[in-house]
Amino acid sequence: MSPKPTYRIAAIPGDGIGVDITSAAIQVLDTLATANGAFAFKYTTFDWSSKAYLERGWYMQPDWEAQLKKHDAIYFGAVGWPDVPDHISLWQMILPIRQRMNQYVNVRPTRILKGTHPPVAQLQQKPADLDWIIVRENSEGEYAGQGGTTHGHTAHATATEVAIFTYVGIERIMRFAFETAKARPRRKLTMVTKSNAQRHGMVLWDKVFYEVAKEYEGVVEYDKMLVDAMTVRMVNRPESMDTIVATNLHADILSDLAAALAGSIGIAPSSNLDPTRSCPSMFEPIHGSAPDIAGKGIANPVGAFWSAAEMVRWLGKGELDAVADQFMQAIENVTGNPETRTKDMGGSAGTKAVTEAVCREIERVC
Ligand code: ATP
Ligand code: MG
């Protein structure tokens, strides 16, 4: 009998509610591993937070890349705190991890879980009308970090923020998006662009999309949307889309809209993937550190659990899909019960009560 696999997880709780939901996710993952019996998790916890940065002046040790690479996956809570400008935590930690760990795809599944209250009437009546996978380019584009400032602190200040689009970068994200669409029952891909106004990078984006599309002719149905019109279509005709591919900036914005349409930002998951599997991929809820509710024990851990389920799916390379589905079933059994919903979902349960309820469901379902 081969030894049971132990997945090494780098856990980065970060700041605020990131700390609460990461420990909740670890508790739930361990319950899943015990209930299933065929695999286990081993964690290394990294104290990379804004609080630590304020004390010692740095987020991550100089050898952070080598440390992360010793793991099979990274589980990330949230980073950011009011005393530290957001662009510092982003550029000292999140973006370097995404870029150096080759996580060039960010995947954000969105659907309406049982017990959520979507704000749009159509979705209240027919929640199944919203079932999307947003595929975000995660390595270049508008967040490439290129640009500069002159006369910085004067009334003559000038700043440039240069978006970088490369053929290689676009082609690999388009290929991933088409493959994602192809694996889903509806086989439908919507590409988002702004090539009517941005005439260089976005035109290349469109061109490469149509080139890759040729390989999927008759296999995946596809269309193109300008990002502004896309926001309207997401609200008015959610059923008309399935897989969506967009740039770093566009998908960042559209996926927050998607989370709001699905009922709460506390539910939505995200996966930062290195599809080549040469580096560990990173899983995190899309919400931030929510300083307003930090330390109160009321954060919704569902986005953290859904992200953990996506991590299990990724680690299993197809062999743990059924386990991840059961995990999701356990989560939905809990969100479906008004007694075990957090405040943002209209209930009064705390993080701990929801976590314990999910653990009990896992023991029952898995
Ligand atoms: P950051 O700068 O870290 O992204 P933020 O304040 O911009 O943080 P979020 O933390 O994503 O944004 O959340 C915005 C608001 O949504 C929070 O202030 C909080 O009230 C609510 N919220 C976010 N996540 C959750 C959650 N998991 N459970 C309950 N409420 C949440
Ligand atoms: Mg935020």
Q: What is the pLDDT of residues 25-72, one digit of tens each?
A: 999 999 999 999 999 999 999 999 999 999 999 999 999 999 999 999
What would the pLDDT profile of 89-141 be if each residue is shown by its tens digit? 888 888 899 999 999 999 999 999 999 999 999 999 999 999 999 999 999 99
Q: Is the ipTM value over 0.85, yes or no? A: yes
CA 335 to chain centre: 20
pLDDT band at 1 (very low <50, low <70, confident <90, very high): low
- CA-wise closest residue to 356 among 324, 334, 332, 329: 334
- How remote is the CA of residue 137 from the centroid of ligand 2, in Å? 19
pLDDT beyond 80 at 242: yes
Mean pLDDT score across all residues of the chain: 95
- Tell me the β-bridge partners of 8: 42
- How remote is the CA of residue 80 from the centroid of ligand 1, in Å? 11
Ligand nearest to the CA of 286: 1
Query: Is residue 219 a contact partner of residue 187, using CB atoms and an 8 Å limit?
Result: yes
**Amino acid sitting at position 35:** A
- The pTM (predicted TM-score) of the whole model is 0.95
The whole-angstrom separation of Cα 190 and Cα 184 is: 13
pLDDT beyond 90 at 88: no
Query: Is residue 269 a contact partner of residue 108, using CB atoms and an 8 Å limit?
Result: yes
Report the pLDDT value the prediction gives residue 89, as an integer from 0 to 100: 84
Q: Is 129 exposed, middle or buried (0-12, 13-18, 19+ CB in 10 A)?
A: middle
Q: Where are the alpha helices (DSSP H) in 80-146?
A: 86-89, 95-100, 121-125
Residues flanking ligand 1, CB < 6 Å: 17, 78, 80, 86, 265-266, 287-290, 292-293, 299-300, 303, 342, 344
Ligand nearest to the CA of 287: 1
- How remote is the CA of residue 1 from the centroid of ligand 1, in Å? 46
The whole-angstrom separation of Cα 184 and Cα 165 is: 28
pLDDT beyond 80 at 2: no
CA 7 to chain centre: 20
Nearest CA to ligand 1 atom 7: 288
Report the pLDDT value the prediction gives residue 318, as an integer from 0 to 100: 94
pLDDT beyond 60 at 87: yes
Q: Is 54 exposed, middle or buried (0-12, 13-18, 19+ CB in 10 A)?
A: exposed
pLDDT beyond 80 at 344: yes
Phi-psi region of 74 (alpha: psi -120 to 50; beta: other; left: phi over 0): beta
Query: Is residue 300 a contact partner of residue 355, using CB atoms and an 8 Å limit?
Result: no
High-pLDDT (> 70) share of the chain, %: 99
Nearest CA to ligand 1 atom 4: 288
Choose between 3 and 278: higher pLDDT: 278
- In order of 17, 166, 275, 315, the CA distances from 172 in angstroms are 34, 10, 10, 21
Atom of ligand 1 nearest to the CA of 17: 27
Nearest CA to ligand 1 atom 12: 288
Nearest CA to ligand 1 atom 18: 290
Q: Encoding tokens for residue 235?
A: 């609200």
The whole-angstrom separation of Cα 72 and Cα 280 is: 5
Report the pLDDT value the prediction gives residue 79, as an integer from 0 to 100: 95
